[in-house]
Copies of this chain bind each other. A is one copy, B any other.
Amino acid sequence: MNLNSADAAFTALLAQNLPAGSLSETEPRHLEEPRGRWQGRAGPMVRPRTTEEVARIVTLAADARVGIIPYGGGTGLVGGQISPEGPLPLILSLERINALRDIYAQENVLICEAGCVLADIQSAAEEVDRLFPLSLASEGSARIGGNLATNAGGTAVLRYGNARDLCLGVEAVLPDGQIWHGLKRLRKDNTGYDLRNLLIGSEGTLGIITAAALKLSPRPAQSGTAFFVVPSPAAALSLLALARGQLGEMVSGFELINGQGLRFLSEVLPNVRQPFETPPEWCVLIEVGLVSGMDPASALERVFEEASAQGLALDGLIAQNAQQSKDFWSVREHIPEANKRIGAIISSDVSLPLGCIAGFITRARQLIAEVGAFRINCFGHLGDGNLHFNIFPVPGETAAQHNDKRAALQRVVHDLVHDLDGSVSAEHGIGRLKVDDLQRYGDPAKLSAMRAVKAALDPVGIMNPGALFKT
């Protein structure tokens, strides 16, 4: 692809074509990512204020053959926002393109720019008595442009879908500098190829999303939360079917939690209030959002009764008020932080056909035991078939020793996932972390179509070079 570095001549050219103050140097935070795996290189950063400025920048970069790294909230977990090598790229931060353009409450549509922080969008929806259901741990700093570029998932996918399901239209700058004005507020639009979904999840490699028309939902009249202790992951799945049988789409969240995660919490975050005195081996956190006239506690009790009668639930706690609901969710939300504090995590983000999950957990444990002794914290969005299967050293083992086994362990997990028709990246994307995995496990016809699409839309290869594909 023969890209050039974003050198002084290029930044001078940019400066000439943009308002004063658009250009700066990267700050350290732009060169780091949450997992600490990659380190970017200091260099030029541009913070345009409008979509038209983005278009101008992209056009100049295409002419100069300079790579662009689109930068949102910097919360991605696969290194898509970091350029550790190759010709120095331009970091294009969307942080100033952050207006909430319009809310159409009656239409259940909100239009905002890429730089809006996810939590702010949630709040704006709430102010007009609507719900923007995308919900994830980093929502306080993640920006919607990045959420869409990576097709973010989170805890409400079961009911409301991934980021792509919550987006009706996008405005984007394509790699040739053209602006696609695609901010449709339509539920149905069959006029040609689905470019919206092509851009969503393309991780900045096919263009820069600058604004989006987002789908809001009515807010459930009342919500309820419960912890149910289950005898096994298989039982948890049957419990999910039972709950959906009783409550249909009103089951909003269904999270599997392993005893190891609760023990880690006790160890490193003892202030997080735990639901059970003795951590059960498996439990699920259920969230329901009900229509008016239904009582959450009784609805959850009815689920528990039936589940208990079928041997699917051994114990249960139903939140009695909003504070207790919050406490329950706090347990789930602190598990990633506890993992981080335990350290030396070998993480994964896999999805499986629902029918294969229980078998996967058992078999993965066996295969990992063949490699050595480890602590495993397997948790995740069970309703979506999405597990975070994380492997930690046993006490006494050093991080360095553990790290030596990283490649082998990840191979074991990913090979098994692949054999079971699962995905080695359920919700975090490919970024730079899983470029090799994509090649190894990807369908050859799909990969060649992807390369053809990339070459067609970004022939110079300026958009996020190094993400998804080897440069």
Contacts and interface: CB of A to CB of B under 8 A. Distances in A.
B449 A385 contact: no
Interface string A340-375: 000000000001111100000000000000000000
Given A104-B353, A153-B188, A193-B206, 5 more contacts: A188-B426, A192-B430, A194-B198, A220-B248, A245-B292
Given A423-B184, A443-B181, A355 B104 contact: yes
Contacts of A185: 353-354, 421
A291 interface: yes
A230 interface: no
A218 B249 CA distance: 9
14 contacts: A106-B355, A107-B354, A153-B188, A164-B197, A186-B422, A187-B386, A188-B351, A190-B201, A190-B427, A192-B468, A193-B198, A218-B248, A220-B248, A453-B456
A246 interface: yes
Contacts of A165: 165
A442 B355 contact: no
Contacts of A107: 353-355
A438 interface: yes
A174 interface: yes
B191 A425 contact: yes
Interface in A439-465: 441-450, 452-457
Contacts of A184: 421, 423
A173 B164 CA distance: 25
B180 A445 contact: yes
Contacts of A104: 353-355
For A150, A188, A241, A425, the residue with the greatest tally of chain B CB atoms inside 10 Å of its CB is A188
A202 interface: yes
Given A450-B192, A450-B193, A444 B186 contact: no
A182 interface: yes
A443 B188 CA distance: 17
Given A165-B165, A456-B453, A423 B191 contact: yes
Contact of A191 (B108, B244, B442, B453): B442
Contacts of A192: 201, 430, 438, 442, 446-447, 450, 468
A174 B247 CA distance: 41
A424 interface: yes
A384 B423 contact: no
Integer count of this chain's copies in the complex: 2
A151 interface: yes
A119 B424 CA distance: 35
Contacts of A449: 174, 180, 193, 195, 457
The 4 closest A-B pairs by CB, nearest first: A456-B456, A197-B197, A178-B445, A180-B445
A157 interface: yes
Given A191-B425, A250-B248, A443 B182 contact: yes
Contacts of A201: 190, 192-194
Contacts of A195: 446, 449-450
Interface string A417-441: 0000111111111100010011001
A258 interface: no
A427 B188 contact: yes
A174 B448 CA distance: 10
A106 B237 contact: yes
Nearest to A152: B190
Interface in A372-394: 381, 383-386
A339 interface: no
A81 B444 CA distance: 29
A179 B430 CA distance: 23
Contacts of A430: 190-192
A412 B181 CA distance: 23
Contacts of A352: 186
A404 interface: no
